[in-house]
Amino acid sequence: MQPQYPQYPQQPMPQYPPQYAPQPQYPPQYAPQPQYPPQAYAPAAAAARPVAVRGSLNDFFDQTSAGSKAWVFKEKPDGTTYSGIVARVVNNSDIRQQTNPNTGELRFFRDGRPMFVMVVPMLVQPSPEFPEGEASWWVKGQARDELARAMAEAGAPEGPPEAGAGITVTKAGERPIPGFNPKFIYQVRYARPNGAAVANSVPWATEPTAQPAPPPQQPVYAAPQPAPVPQPAPVQVAAAPVQAPSNLTAEQQELLARLTGTG
């Protein structure tokens, strides 16, 4: 006889895969952001306009004038010479601070004082180098001392060159400086304007030699001559005028000729 086992209620088997709750859909739906009114930005400040400055006559005349081509001695042989007439009164606008020719930086002495150069406007004979008959002489260093010496020798007052004065500048040589460019050595001749040069004060000025007075003439009596027969006046043929540079007066031409030894 078989043993009787108790009957247990059968449990349903789980279903695979299990049924999960539905997952949310991505991207999630975010709540709408509130709308803010556009921000009104202040306009950018306008650039400050320069204010007109009231000037004076001194301010006007002290302005730097248009420059002319300079007398250039660099890379030229010793003996190179330039001659000309000072074009006008040299004023404060002709004084400029020196700059380094390689970098353009302003130059100062070791104690902080600025180094200056005097730009002298000159009238010269028109040439391929100076076709307009205008040039400028940049005076600094040894040239300044040589100019002062030449002016004192000519009897000129201290200060800048006089307007209308004649100046000749010659490159006499070069002085080497270790580690730097060589310094030029100049010779300057100066003639005061309007015939103010003192005799024997400049190399090319010569004092006229005194001439002995001629002996008195004895009166000579001659027989009366018949009256001359009037002749028709000869026809005068006008010679073609000589064209001179318009930037130099006749007096300046004569002074420049003395400076260059051509007069």
What gap in Å lies between CA 27 and CA 24, rounded to an integer?
9
What's the mean per-residue pLDDT of the chain? 76
pLDDT band at residue 227 using 50, 70 and 90 as cut-offs: low
Chain segment 231-263, per-residue pLDDT in tens: 555 544 443 333 344 577 888 888 888 777 776
pLDDT of residue 187: 95
pLDDT of residue 254: 82
The H or E element that residue 191 is part of is strand 180-191
| Coil/strand/helix, residue 152 | helix
Chain segment 145-187, per-residue pLDDT in tens: 999 999 999 999 999 999 999 999 999 998 888 877 788 999 9
pLDDT band at residue 59 using 50, 70 and 90 as cut-offs: confident
Which residue would you say has higher pLDDT here, 53 or 234? 53
pTM: 0.58
Chain segment 184-200, per-residue pLDDT in tens: 999 999 999 975 643 33
Number of residues written out for the chain? 263
Q: In sequence order, which residues have a C-beta less than 8 Å from that of residue 121 and are 6 or more positions away? A: 65, 68, 86, 87, 88, 90, 94, 134, 136
* Domain boundary assignment for the chain: 66-199
